[in-house]
Amino acid sequence: MTIESFIQNIEDNVEAVEAGTLKPDTNPNNLEAWDSLAVLSVLAMIDSEYDVQVSGTELSEMTSIQQMFDAVQAKRGSASPA
């Protein structure tokens, strides 16, 4: 899994987010499209694509896409490459 593929999965699963708009340092909480449906969509995508469970509370506390990616990597037992 790469940060690029992770971002692509988010953009594919959250209808209101346009392709190419997310970057690793994007704070999803600052996006107009980031609502409860977007959070549920991302939680479902993380569960189905990466077989990892992240709570809504955990996700809402993350302030960047990179933090989400790192959390999924950690829960999968993989270290994020430097």
pLDDT at 77: 85
Q: Is the dihedral of CA 70, 44, 63, 31 positive or negative?
A: positive
What pLDDT does 28 receive? Answer: 93
DSSP state of 80: P
Mean pLDDT throughout 20-36?
A: 92
What pLDDT does residue 18 have?
Answer: 87
Please say if the pLDDT value at position 55 is more than 70.
Answer: yes
pLDDT above 70 for 14: yes
> If you search the block for the tokens 């549920």, which residue do you land on?
40
Question: What pLDDT is stored for residue 78 in this prediction?
Answer: 56
Would you say 43 and 52 are in contact if contact means Cβ atoms under 8 Å apart? no
d(CA 64, CA 46): 15
Could you tell me the two tokens for 16? 């209101």
Query: Is CATH 1.10.1200.10 the classification given to domain 3-15+24-76?
Result: yes
Mean per-residue pLDDT, 28-52:
93
Arithmetic mean of pLDDT, 8-20? 91
